[in-house]
Amino acid sequence: MTKIRITQIKSAIDRPKRQKLTLKALGLKKMNNPREVEATPQILGMVRTVDHLVKVEEVG
């Protein structure tokens, strides 16, 4: 499996509760604090839900 690095670049303030919970499920706690995870279909679906709040990079 490939790994991806997810970084939150926009605030979750004034966002729907579902998006806030998705960020929490991805393990994002603070702005600009990256998290490396496996690129499973479930994770990619969560990233698609909050793609306007995060930056995604593929890690070697």
Tell whether the model's pLDDT for residue 34 goes beyond 80: yes
pLDDT cut 90: percent of the chain above it: 97
Domain ranges of the chain: 3-59
Topology (CATH level 3) of domain 3-59 = Ribosomal Protein L30; Chain: A, (3.30.1390)
Q: What is the pLDDT of residue 33?
A: 95
**What is the average pLDDT score of the chain?**
96
Query: Which among 60, 6, 14, 15 is positioned nearest to 37, based on CA atoms?
Result: 6
User: pTM for the whole thing?
Assistant: 0.92
Query: Which among 16, 41, 4, 3 is positioned nearest to 53, based on CA atoms?
Result: 16
Please, which residues have CB within 8 angstroms of residue 41's CB and are 6 or more apart in sequence? none
Q: What is the pLDDT of residue 1?
A: 81
Q: What is the pLDDT of residues 7-21, one digit of tens each?
A: 999 999 999 999 999
